[in-house]
Structure 1
Amino acid sequence: MRARSLTARVLLLTTLWSVAALVAIALVISTLYREGAERSFQDLLRAQLYNVVNSVSVGEQGALAGSPELGDLRFSQPRTGWYWIVEPLGTFATTPLVSSSLGNSNLKVPSVIEVPFDRNYERFYVSKDEAGNDVQVAETEVVLDQEGRAARFRVTGNLNVVQSDVQAFSRSLYIALAVFGVGSLIINALAILYGLRPLDQARVALGHVRAGESERLQGDFPREIQPLASEVNALIDSNRRIVERARMQVGNLAHSLKTPIAVLLNESRVLDEQHGGLVRNQAETMQAQVQSYLNRARIAAQRESILARTDAEPVLERLVRVMRRLNSDKEFELEVSPNLALAMEQQDLEETVGNLLENAARHAERRIWVSATAAAADTRGHDENRRAWVELVVEDDGPGLEPDQIREAMKRGRRLDESKPGTGLGLSIVREITSEYQGVFNLSRGRSGGLRARLVLPAVTKEVA
């Protein structure tokens, strides 16, 4: 799984690296300390061995004589693992000398072939005494007099001393490194969060732009992020220029077509009723279609703009107020959730809802209901970008439409009721504008039996800190 948060990703990588590094450091230091402790232990046994060598000689009776004083009470306490032994070699037949700690016990001694002497004529090996202690043995052979009488000297030490010392050191080391590691991770996390704070500031500034509260990214960004902020601001400026240029071209085209169409309409009035009516109807249809395509061109030019924002409540209240004046015999009920803002131009919202209101007023018996609420996450049916949506509903208490009639009414220029005025373009214009904003428009039978028109349009999303 890939972490979607940059902060989480950096913290995860640094934590893994810190843990791996601290574990490696602990193992290396513990191993080095163990090796050093073992070398020191061997050096201690070597020093005790030569103390025994210097304390033992051949007496007047030709026997081993001497009483080594090693300054360690463990050599006088039984079964401690600390012993010294002097054994005669070859033809030197006499009684061995042993420490009081060994008593009548014996040690298992490997042969010289298994553990040979080194160049200093010393050898070290591990054995086990009769008490079950693991002991380190230091051994050498020394000629004691000019007659060539020799003896083998051994000094042993309990390996539990080394193991206990290493374990105590390792325990302290692990505790110290754990405390250091936790402290380092906390400081590292705070440093990362502090270092990435400008990215949160940039995100909040971009949220203000998306919400229409600002036209540019505002803030004092560090030099690593400032180029990105400058590029985003340049993109916003470029987008604004494109929108303005498209609007200007749309206005020029509308102005250039306005006069020819007006001339055709005027000329249709002086013609006879049959031909004049035909020219007038076609000119009005042409005028509505030109306006529709001009709207589509304008919407396509500014659809991707992040600066488009229209507050729903004042626009809908104004449209309903106008419709009440034009249709005094009809009742209009308006319900709008607070703080709803659509990511579309005000003119497009007015045209879509205005067409639906005119259609509802034309066919309603008495009442028209208008509502605007925040849409649920799955209202649109699919939402790959997880955008926010607003649901607009216009419903009347008229006769309504059957499913086949709804399909026919959605076609451009089709009018199901020829007795009512209109060009038949209203619903198709609503569908085209909604489609340009990647929204949803559908018709169905309402709760009162009339027509229910439902729009799902993009809402303004605001990033929060």
Structure 2
Amino acid sequence: MRGFGAQSLTLRVVLSVSIWAIAGLVVIAIAISTLYRRDAEKSFRDLLRAHLFNVVNSVSINENKQLAGRPELGDLQFSQPGTGWYWIAEGVGQYKTTPLVSPSLGATPLPEKPASEVPFDIRFQRFYDIKDAAGNSLSVAETEVELDDQGDIVRFRVTGNKAVVEASVTAFNRSLYLALTIFGAGSLLANALAILIGLRPLDRVRNALENIRTGRAERLEGRFPSEIRPLANEVNALIDNNRRIIERARMQVGNLAHSLKTPIAVLLNEARAMTQAHGTLVAQQAEAMQLQVQSYLNRARIAAQRETVLARTEARPVLDRIVRVMQKLNREIEFEMDDKAPGAVLAMEQQDIEEILGNLLENAARFARSEIRVSFVELDQQDGRDMAELAIEDDGPGLEPDEIKEALKRGRRLDESRPGSGLGLSIVSEIVSEYSGRFSLSRGASGGLRASLILPIVAQEKPKRG
């Protein structure tokens, strides 16, 4: 898989699933912890109630009207001072007697809350929280019982240290969070792997589209899941339809060119039989018409296949071939090639590249003294497209800015002493424009004319780092 980006579908799905899973685990942890705390507090209260009943059953009033009894609660904390685990039995109302207390409480008074603040329930029991002299948070279970037939009422209280509950909840939460963290990390890893594996067919589709875009394939090849197969079939159908449109346009252009070829040839032949003055004029106009018809036919053909995945041409072989031909035709001129974009593929038809190169090199050879330099360099992306600059520079006299404007006009020739129709640079400009490129002329470093072409190229996959 390639690196995740801000617009990555994989990253979005992984993040969405991860956030949802983490949120779910957090909610589950809080719910379980809350339920456990509630159960622990209930168990703690039940324990206090059991101790309270044990104390009630162990205490009585003797013949001296004194409280008597030795409650055995089975917990050493009731014997150790300051533990927060206490019991006390004391007379209420008219019954005044020495209270019975646990060894852990000793002579320290135990705070209490009035019944008006925490009333007794229907079983004449109540529970509330206090703090003892040692600063312990205590939970109190209290009841009042009539111990004899003379109406003597005794209040019983049993306290427990709430730190026990907190310690139990803390230990449980620690184990719970550890278990959920391990489970959550494993689940997130499993989800991420499942998503990466599930979206891997999209990588194959992307690679197949890159192969089409770079000219290594003409269709989406390979086996795809049933969810993606309709998309692949539609893309292949679109490519086939695009190819048929291009072939139809080429055939129509060829038919039109063939139908115009004969009438123009007849005009040229008839012009030769006319008087010299009229014949020359007719011949010149027929030749201009022939070039213009060809130019418009080229534009129609380019418009039919522009921006398709089928217009792909490797630049270097075409450059080498055209330069080699021009070198043979102009042996007195030295051609220098500087290719700084090896392997670049132009998003153009080969015959269009050959036409603009032929026009520019022929124009440069016409005025060069001894040298023509051809350079090809890849540029940074412009308007989201990959572009390259093809520059042709001669060491001739060059042109002034005003002359450059005139040279780019259709049919204008600045040097009437040399052969030509004056349409070459205009045709180059039109072809480059149809491919959404740019064509410009300027004075070169050697003083001659420099023709610059900004042409679209196919993005090449960058080599991956080891």
Q: Shorter-chain-normalised TM-score: which range?
A: over 0.9
Gaps of 5+ in 2: none
Where does 1:336-351 land on structure 2 (aligned, <5 Å)? 336=339, 337-351=341-355
Q: Check if 1:421 corresponds to 2:394.
A: no
Name the counterpart of 1:6: 9
Name the counterpart of 2:137: 134
Name the counterpart of 1:361: 365
Q: Check if 1:373 corresponds to 2:377.
A: yes
Residues 333, 368 of structure 1: 8 Å contact kept: yes
Gaps of 5+ in 1: 378-382
Partner-residue secondary structure (3-state), 1:196:
helix
Q: 2:385 aligns with which of 384, 387, 392?
A: 387
Where does 1:38-187 land on structure 2 (aligned, <5 Å)? 38-187=41-190
Q: Check if 1:454 corresponds to 2:452.
A: yes
Name the counterpart of 1:380: none
For 2:179 and 2:375, how far apart are their aligned partners in 1? 66
Partner-residue secondary structure (3-state), 1:214:
coil
Name the counterpart of 2:244: 241
Partner-residue secondary structure (3-state), 1:218:
coil
Q: 1:224 aligns with which of 223, 227, 246?
A: 227
Residues 140, 159 of structure 2: 8 Å contact kept: yes
Name the counterpart of 1:35: 38
For 1:263 and 1:275, how far apart are their aligned partners in 2? 15
For 1:127 and 1:338, how far apart are their aligned partners in 2? 86
Partner-residue secondary structure (3-state), 2:450:
strand
For 1:35 and 1:122, how far apart are their aligned partners in 2? 20
Query: How far is the alpha carbon of 1:409 from its aligned partner?
Result: 0.5
Name the counterpart of 1:205: 208
Between 1:98-107 and 1:455-464, the stretch displaced more is 455-464
For 1:144 and 1:376, how far apart are their aligned partners in 2? 99
Name the counterpart of 1:439: 437
Name the counterpart of 1:297: 300
Q: 1:396 aligns with which of 389, 394, 397?
A: 394
For 2:276 and 2:336, how far apart are their aligned partners in 1? 41
1:328 is matched by which residue type in structure 2? Answer: R
Name the counterpart of 2:320: 317
For 1:43 and 1:322, how far apart are their aligned partners in 2? 104
Query: How far is the alpha carbon of 1:462 from its aligned partner?
Result: 4.1
For 2:451 and 2:27, how far apart are their aligned partners in 1? 68
2:457 is matched by which residue type in structure 1? Answer: A
- For residues 345-391 of structure 1, the C-alpha deviation after alignment (integer angstroms, 9 at most, x for no partner) is 000000011100010011111111112222233xxxxx33x222121
Query: How far is the alpha carbon of 1:37 from its aligned partner?
Result: 0.4
1:339 is matched by which residue type in structure 2? Answer: G
Partner-residue secondary structure (3-state), 2:299:
helix
Residues 340, 373 of structure 1: 8 Å contact kept: no
Q: Check if 1:192 corresponds to 2:190.
A: no
- For residues 98-154 of structure 1, the C-alpha deviation after alignment (integer angstroms, 9 at most, x for no partner) is 001000111211110100001111000001111110100000011111222120000
1:134 is matched by which residue type in structure 2? Answer: S
For 1:320 and 1:266, how far apart are their aligned partners in 2? 34
Residues 344, 460 of structure 2: 8 Å contact kept: no
Query: How far is the alpha carbon of 1:291 from its aligned partner?
Result: 0.3
For 1:137 and 1:333, how far apart are their aligned partners in 2? 102
Query: How far is the alpha carbon of 1:69 from its aligned partner?
Result: 0.4
Residues 204, 463 of structure 1: 8 Å contact kept: no
Residues 75, 100 of structure 1: 8 Å contact kept: yes
For 2:220 and 2:461, how far apart are their aligned partners in 1? 13
Residues 203, 463 of structure 1: 8 Å contact kept: no
For 2:367 and 2:332, how far apart are their aligned partners in 1? 12
For 1:100 and 1:313, how far apart are their aligned partners in 2? 102
Q: Check if 1:266 corresponds to 2:264.
A: no
For 1:151 and 1:414, how far apart are their aligned partners in 2? 125
Residues 48, 160 of structure 2: 8 Å contact kept: yes
Query: How far is the alpha carbon of 1:463 from its aligned partner?
Result: 5.0
For 1:187 and 1:389, how far apart are their aligned partners in 2? 43
Partner-residue secondary structure (3-state), 2:307:
coil
Partner-residue secondary structure (3-state), 1:179:
helix
Residues 89, 151 of structure 1: 8 Å contact kept: yes
Partner-residue secondary structure (3-state), 1:172:
helix
For 1:118 and 1:9, how far apart are their aligned partners in 2? 57
Residues 216, 236 of structure 1: 8 Å contact kept: yes
1:351 is matched by which residue type in structure 2? Answer: E
- For residues 426-456 of structure 1, the C-alpha deviation after alignment (integer angstroms, 9 at most, x for no partner) is 0010000000000111100011100000111
Consecutive aligned runs of 4 or more in structure 1 exceeding 3 Å deviation: 462-465
For 2:290 and 2:400, how far apart are their aligned partners in 1? 30
Residues 127, 136 of structure 1: 8 Å contact kept: yes
